[in-house]
């Protein structure tokens, strides 16, 4: 154990130095947190092995030798972490108990006139928070809590003397940091100083301000754009870039990086007003001109603080800077002083860490997929890993050049990033963990589809493309794109259903969507009601109905892990709950508790006579006899429970001259592994299955059977209601349910409920990979994968009706949406709208020459070539000719009714650049078109006005100025659309 602790300390110190001193972390934050958590657990279990300089007792890393050292008069501390709601509540509970204990001790000392050394240390903030506060001590109230964003940057301290910024330092190891005064003085963003060099009159004589220097996302993107333009590598992330920029030896370089700062606390303070709360402290700092984050809020409970955390989670990608969590602080400064600190962190604050957006895992394979326009994209097949709030098993690698640049190889440990709704991507390998002699991955020459086609890469293009118009992958992608929300918006026809319909040969092109006939839908109904069969290796055949295959599909690794944890937990539940789970005749919660109080072990209960059991208060003779009958008929099941480690109460005393039976030997002698029951199950198997279902089902509200008199039923109901109210009516096998029980039984994984506790759930992966077959009355055999059969389970009559209606409704979509659905290479949504506006109907576009198309403002020669090539292809013409006449004659606007707008912009061409506060990107274009105007994507001589918002494109502004085109701000644009008059 000492060796592992020493190893962890060395590892964490190494990564602390890389992160804090060199701005070059080699592992994600989550990997670091795991190392730190393991060390904390080991030190808690072995306090004698805790070292004074352990990373759990210190902060950060020693400062680098590039800058002069600065000693912090008041240490810059770290924060303890909470990773879920329970840990956040536990922090608050510890703080309340500590306050109560300190006050109780202080009151006792005042009463006795004594004061212990221990209490002095605690009130001054010394000593570790070892969690030994008496839980019985009544809790004190914490009052309000202040909730702040946790910024992903570099912690610094600014020292003002008589209002002048005299020194700035990094946190370093908490006691000594690095002098970065010159670089802090150089900070500038958007033409303004990031921090004031001098505070207004009346500022404290000495004021140390703590905060975080960060790089706004806009500055980070601009820096990377500059790097690419100069042929230099991109920076990895804003945090490391900010830290590296702040540590530049030349402050003029720092000045160009666009760094900013948020202030959130103070260190040494001499002078200034007396303040009572942390919130008023922040308001005071803001009044001095220091940057304080506006997202800070005050709440009155941990529940309200959790809502703030949830908002952080939901909105983190809407912010113009990166955050990695939230910080919750006790608001009252006097309570902060009472709570004090450990050697590394205050007890009055905690940091909630948002789910990781970067994580390490193993790269199993690199495969290539072909999209709707023929683009061949490499993607990584990964060992599943939880990142960005979900489990990720695949991640994009973009193109061949990116794979070469990142140098990822099969077998590598790689860093995966998933931010919000962004597609997961592989950032690169962890070279320190690369096995020797891993071969370089080569991009394949052939398209991965069944047709033998060589992939092409055109000069100047980063991507490979499949040129085959009949490529199955391209056709599938085209249909999926056609039905998507931004195209024809056909509800109930998502990617999985498209793939299923293609597999069943119901559709082969976008035109086939509109030719789905009643026979096709009848086929779906027939397959939904079918029985499917599969064989695992040379084992017996497995027979499942569609609903059970769907249940199998849902048991992914995440759900299996939850189920396994539930199973393990249920092995250690009270004996009374196990008895209730047996569903013995008339044995409910209340009676089970009475039985287990009299006989505290299951063996004692089953060995007792019916007469002895009936002597227990509340146990009728009929119940006692039912217990005896059950024990005789289910001995093998009870042995399985014992063998699986299910706790059965307080162990009975061994009988003289005897020893407990060898369960392993008995099981091997009496039981053989379960096997699939076959297409038709026997009466015995049906009864066994019913026992499993009864075991996993909730306790019935009344006894079963036909011979109970009315009083017995009333007694049972009354006792059960009282018991369930007191115990929460814990189910005996939470997480399985009848459907999963049936699935496990028909797969042959269980033969009775005793098998549930020794299940190897990972073997379900083998069943999920099977191909399932069935044969209908048409004598055609259908073979589908597990997830494809699962799709059939959702095809009730209502869902089929909804799909048919959605297909019919899509016939009224606009010409622009139809063009989006046709998926012409190089054309995005805006270009499709421009094309629709220019020609008005599909036939005119199809007849247009490439030269005419290129003349359209917002199209250009590359798009014109793609349009002309698309409509000149005979196969495409054939598909378009098969579309419904309503679509072939689609007009510019949607046929759906909309509120009429005054045509104030009729004949005008308005270009918008940058973000407008009152509009989304799509919304501003729609507002212009609704009022009769055009909204192309580029400035030309035909442009009426250029509207500029936040971060406009420099090229559009330059062109507008050269052409003498009016440039409007958002307020002027609003007046224009309301009045139709130029400002």
Residue 340 has pLDDT above 80, yes or no: yes
Residue 177 token pair: 């940091």
**Among the listed residues 943, 944, 843, 835, the one whose alpha carbon sits nearest the alpha carbon of residue 892:** 835
Place of tokens 């001499």: 270
Can you tell me the distance from the alpha carbon of 928 to that of 628, in angstroms, rounded to the nearest whole number?
82
Contact 1, 43 (CB under 8 A): no
Please give the biggest Cα pair distance in the chain: 108
Per-residue confidence at 669, pLDDT binned at 50, 70, 90? very low
**Which pLDDT value is given to residue 152?**
87
pLDDT at 647: 87
Predicted confidence (pLDDT) per residue in 235-260, tens digit: 878 888 888 888 888 888 898 899 99
Please provide the size of the chain in residues. Answer: 983
- Cα–Cα distances (Å) from 980 to 839, 867, 906, 936, in that order, read 25, 34, 8, 18
H helical segments located in 785-938: 786-792, 797-809, 815-822, 829-839, 842-847, 850-854, 860-872, 874-881, 885-888, 921-930
pTM of the model as a whole: 0.56
Task: Pick the most confident of 100-109, 712-721, 879-888.
Answer: 879-888
Instruction: State the Cα–Cα distance between residues 175 and 267, nearest whole angstrom.
Output: 12
Residues 6+ away with beta carbon under 8 Å from 895: 812, 813, 814
pLDDT, average across residues 545-561: 84
What's the average model confidence in pLDDT over 165-177? Answer: 90
Q: Among residues 487, 604, 569, 497, which one has the least CA distance to residue 733? A: 569
Q: Looking at residue 419, what is its pLDDT?
A: 62
Tell me if 312 sits within 8 A of 350, measured CB to CB: no
Classify residue 890 by its DSSP letter: -
Using the predicted structure, report yes or no on whether residue 148 has a pLDDT greater than 90. yes
pLDDT at 486: 84
Q: Does residue 657 have a pLDDT over 50?
A: no
Three-class secondary structure of residue 859 per DSSP: coil
Query: What number of other Cβ atoms are within 10 A of residue 739's Cβ?
Result: 15
Q: Please spell the DSSP secondary structure of 662-711, one letter per residue.
A: -HHHHHHHH--------SS--HHHHHHHHHHHHHHSPPPSS--SS---HH
- Residues of the chain above pLDDT 90, percent: 31
Helix (H) or strand (E) holding 297: strand 297-299
The strand pairing partners of 178, in sequence order, are: 69
**Per-residue pLDDT reduced to its tens digit, 51-103:** 756 777 655 545 445 678 899 989 998 899 898 899 999 999 999 999 988 88
Nearest to 342 by CA among 139, 58, 115: 58
| Residues designated catalytic | 150
Higher model confidence: residue 33 or residue 664?
A: 33
pLDDT at 899 over 70: no
Under the phi-then-psi rule, with left for phi > 0, alpha for psi from -120 to 50, and beta for the rest, what region is 718?
alpha
Q: At which residue do the structure tokens 């990979």 appear?
A: 769
Most confident listed range (127-131, 204-208, 374-378, 758-762): 204-208
For 400, residues 6+ apart whose C-beta sits below 8 A from its C-beta are 378, 443, 457, 462, 464
Q: Which two tokens stand for residue 2?
A: 């000492």
- Contact between 316 and 334 under an 8 Å Cβ cutoff? The reply is no
Q: Looking at residue 725, what is its pLDDT? A: 36
Of the candidates 337, 351, 343, the one whose C-alpha atom is nearest the C-alpha of residue 99 is: 337
Strands 910-913 and 945-948: parallel
Distance CA 197, CA 592 (A): 75
**DSSP string for residues in 459-485:** TT-SSEE---TT-HHHHHHHHHHHHST
Is beta strand 771-775 parallel, antiparallel or unpaired with respect to 910-913?
A: unpaired
Residue with tokens 């300190």: 102
Tens digits of per-residue pLDDT, 488-546? Answer: 999 889 888 898 999 898 999 999 999 988 888 888 888 998 999 998 877 778 999 99
- Does the pLDDT of residue 275 top 90, yes or no? yes
CA dihedral for 883, 886, 887, 889, sign (positive or negative): positive
d(CA 634, CA 688): 11
Share of the chain above pLDDT 70, in %: 85
**pLDDT tens, residue by residue, 782-822:** 999 998 998 888 787 778 888 999 999 999 998 999 999 99
Q: How far apart are CA 588 and CA 207, in angstroms?
A: 68
Which pLDDT score is estimated for 772? 92
pLDDT in tens, 589-647: 889 999 999 999 999 999 999 999 999 998 999 999 999 999 998 888 888 888 888 88
Burial class (CB in 10 A: 0-12, 13-18, 19+), 849: exposed
Q: Is the dihedral of CA 887, 889, 894, 896 positive or negative?
A: negative
Strand order in the sheet with 945-948: 910-913, 945-948, 967-968
Two structure tokens written together for 91: 């922090």
The mean predicted confidence, pLDDT, of the chain is 82
**Separation of CA 504 from chain center:** 34
User: How far apart, in whole angstroms, are the C-alpha atoms of residue 644 and residue 745?
Assistant: 18
- pLDDT at residue 881, rounded to an integer: 93
Closest Cα partner for 309 from 325, 331, 293? 325
User: Is 50 exceeded by the pLDDT of residue 171?
Assistant: yes
Distance CA 228, CA 226 (A): 5
Give the per-residue pLDDT at 735: 60
Per-residue pLDDT, averaged over 307-330, amounts to: 90
- Quick: pLDDT tens for 12-66: 777 776 665 555 666 766 677 778 778 877 877 776 666 756 777 655 545 445 6
Question: What domains can be seen in the chain, in order of their start residue?
Answer: 2-57 (1.10.287.610), 145-353 (3.30.470.30), 358-467 (2.40.50.140), 469-530+793-812 (1.10.150.20), 545-771 (no CATH), 814-891 (1.10.150.20), 910-979 (3.40.50.10190)
Q: Which two tokens stand for residue 747?
A: 């797969």
For residues 305 and 302, give the distance between their C-alpha atoms in angstroms, rounded to a whole number: 5
Q: What is the pLDDT of residue 490?
A: 92
Q: What is the pLDDT, as a whole number, of residue 674?
A: 61
Helix (H, G, I), strand (E, B) or coil at 842: helix
What pLDDT, in 10s, does the model give residues 703-726? Answer: 333 333 334 333 433 443 333 333
Nearest Cα neighbor of 923 from 907, 908, 912, 938 is 912
Across the range 225-236, mean pLDDT stands at 79
Task: Please state, in angstroms and rounded to a whole number, the distance separating the CA atoms of residues 656 and 379.
Answer: 67
Q: What pLDDT sits at residue 47? A: 66
Tokens of 756: 């549930």
């Amino acid at each position: 154990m000492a060796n592992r602790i020493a190893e962890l300390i060395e590892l964490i110190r190494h990564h602390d130095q890389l992160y804090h001193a060199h701005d070059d972390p080699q592992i994600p934050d989550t990997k670091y947190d795991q190392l730190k958590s393991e060390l904390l657990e080991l030190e808690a279990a072995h306090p004698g092995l805790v070292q004074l300089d352990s990373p759990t007792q210190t902060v950060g890393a020693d400062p680098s030798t590039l800058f002069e050292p600065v000693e912090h008069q008041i240490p810059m501390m770290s924060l303890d972490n909470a990773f879920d709601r329970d840990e956040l509540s536990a922090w608050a509970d510890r703080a309340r108990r500590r306050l109560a204990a300190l006050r109780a001790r202080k009151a006792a000392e005042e009463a006795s006139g004594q004061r212990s050394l221990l209490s002095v240390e605690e009130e001054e903030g010394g000593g570790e928070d070892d969690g030994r506060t008496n839980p019985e001590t009544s809790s004190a109230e914490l009052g309000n809590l202040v909730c702040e964003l946790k910024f992903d940057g570099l912690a610094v301290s600014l020292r003002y003397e008589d209002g002048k910024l005299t020194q700035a330092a990094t946190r370093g190891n908490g006691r000594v940091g690095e002098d970065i005064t010159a670089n802090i003085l150089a900070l500038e963003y958007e033409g303004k100083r990031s921090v004031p060099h001098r505070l207004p009159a009346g500022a404290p004589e000495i004021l140390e301000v703590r905060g975080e220097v960060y790089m706004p996302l806009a500055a980070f993107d601009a820096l990377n754009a500059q790097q690419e333009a100069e042929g230099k590598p991109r920076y990895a992330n804003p945090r490391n870039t900010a830290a590296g920029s702040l540590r530049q030896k030349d402050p003029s370089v720092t000045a160009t990086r666009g760094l900013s700062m948020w202030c959130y606390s103070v260190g040494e303070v001499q002078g200034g007003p007396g303040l009572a709360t942390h919130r008023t402290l922040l308001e005071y700092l803001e009044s001095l001109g220091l940057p304080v984050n506006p997202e800070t809020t005050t709440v009155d409970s941990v529940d309200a603080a959790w809502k703030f955390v949830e908002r952080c989670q939901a909105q983190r990608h809407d912010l113009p800077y990166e955050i990695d969590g939230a910080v919750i602080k006790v608001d009252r400064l006097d309570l902060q002083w009472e709570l004090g600190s450990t050697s590394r962190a205050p007890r009055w604050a905690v940091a909630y860490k948002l789910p990781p957006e970067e994580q390490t895992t193993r790269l199993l394979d690199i495969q290539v997929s072909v999209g709707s326009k023929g683009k061949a994209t490499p993607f990584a097949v990964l060992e599943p890993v939880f990142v960005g709030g979900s489990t990720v098993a695949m991640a994009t690698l973009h193109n061949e050049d990116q794979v070469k640049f990142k140098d990822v190889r099969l077998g590598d440990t790689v860093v995966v990033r998933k931010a919000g709704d962004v597609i997961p991507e592989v950032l690169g390998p962890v070279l320190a963990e690369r096995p020797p002699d891993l071969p370089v991955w080569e991009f394949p020459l052939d398209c991965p589809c069944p047709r033998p086609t060589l992939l092409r890469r055109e000069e100047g293009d980063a991507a490979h493309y499949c040129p085959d118009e009949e490529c199955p992958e391209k056709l599938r992608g085209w249909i999926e794109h056609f039905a998507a929300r931004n195209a024809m918006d056909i509800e109930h026809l998502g990617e999985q259903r498209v793939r299923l319909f293609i597999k069943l040969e119901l559709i082969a092109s976008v035109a086939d969507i509109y030719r789905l006939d009643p026979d096709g839908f009848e086929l779906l109904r027939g397959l939904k009601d079918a029985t499917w069969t599969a064989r695992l290796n040379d084992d017996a055949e497995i027979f499942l109905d569609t609903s059970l295959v769907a249940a199998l599909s849902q048991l992914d690794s995440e759900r299996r892990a939850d189920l396994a944890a539930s199973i393990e937990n249920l092995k250690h539940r009270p004996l009374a709950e196990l008895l209730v789970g047996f569903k013995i005749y008339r044995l409910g919660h209340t009676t089970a508790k009475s039985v287990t109080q009299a006989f505290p072990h299951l063996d004692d209960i089953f060995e007792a006579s019916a007469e002895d059991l009936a002597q227990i208060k509340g146990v009728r003779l009929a119940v006692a006899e039912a217990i005896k009958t059950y024990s005789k008929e289910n001995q093998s099941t009870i042995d399985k429970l014992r063998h699986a480690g299910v706790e059965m109460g307080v162990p009975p005393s061994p009988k003289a001259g005897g020893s407990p039976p060898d369960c392993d030997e008995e099981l091997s002698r009496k039981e053989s592994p379960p096997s699939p029951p076959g297409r038709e199950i026997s009466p015995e198997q049906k009864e066994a299955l019913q026992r499993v279902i009864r075991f996993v089902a909730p306790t019935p509200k009344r006894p079963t059977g036909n011979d109970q008199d009315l009083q017995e039923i009333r007694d049972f109901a009354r006792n059960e209601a009282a018991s369930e109210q007191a115990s929460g009516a814990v189910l005996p096998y939470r997480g399985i349910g009848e459907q999963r029980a049936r699935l496990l039984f028909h797969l042959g994984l269980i033969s009775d409920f005793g098998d549930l506790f020794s299940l190897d759930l990972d073997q379900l992966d083998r069943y999920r990979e099977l191909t399932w077959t069935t044969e209908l009355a048409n004598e055609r055999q259908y073979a589908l994968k597990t997830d494809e059969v699962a799709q059939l389970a959702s095809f009730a009559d209502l869902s089929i009706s909804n799909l048919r209606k959605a297909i019919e409704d899509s016939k009224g979509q606009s010409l622009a949406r139809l063009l989006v659905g046709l998926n012409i290479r190089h054309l995005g949504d805006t270009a499709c709208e421009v094309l629709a506006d220019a020609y008005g109907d599909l036939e005119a576009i199809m007849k247009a020459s490439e030269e005419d198309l290129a003349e359209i403002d917002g199209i250009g020669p590359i798009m014109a070539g793609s349009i002309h090539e698309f409509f000149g292809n005979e196969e495409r013409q054939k598909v378009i000719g098969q579309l419904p006449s309503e679509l072939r004659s689609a007009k510019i606007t949607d046929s759906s009714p909309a509120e009429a707008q005054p045509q104030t912009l009729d004949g005008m061409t308005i270009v918008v650049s940058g973000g407008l506060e009152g509009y989304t990107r799509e919304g501003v274009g729609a507002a212009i078109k609704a009022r009769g105007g055009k909204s192309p994507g580029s400035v030309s001589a035909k442009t009426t006005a250029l509207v500029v918002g936040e971060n406009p494109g420099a090229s559009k502004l330059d062109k507008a100025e050269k052409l003498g085109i009016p440039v409007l701000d958002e307020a002027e644009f609003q007046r224009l659309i309301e009045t139709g008059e130029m400002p």
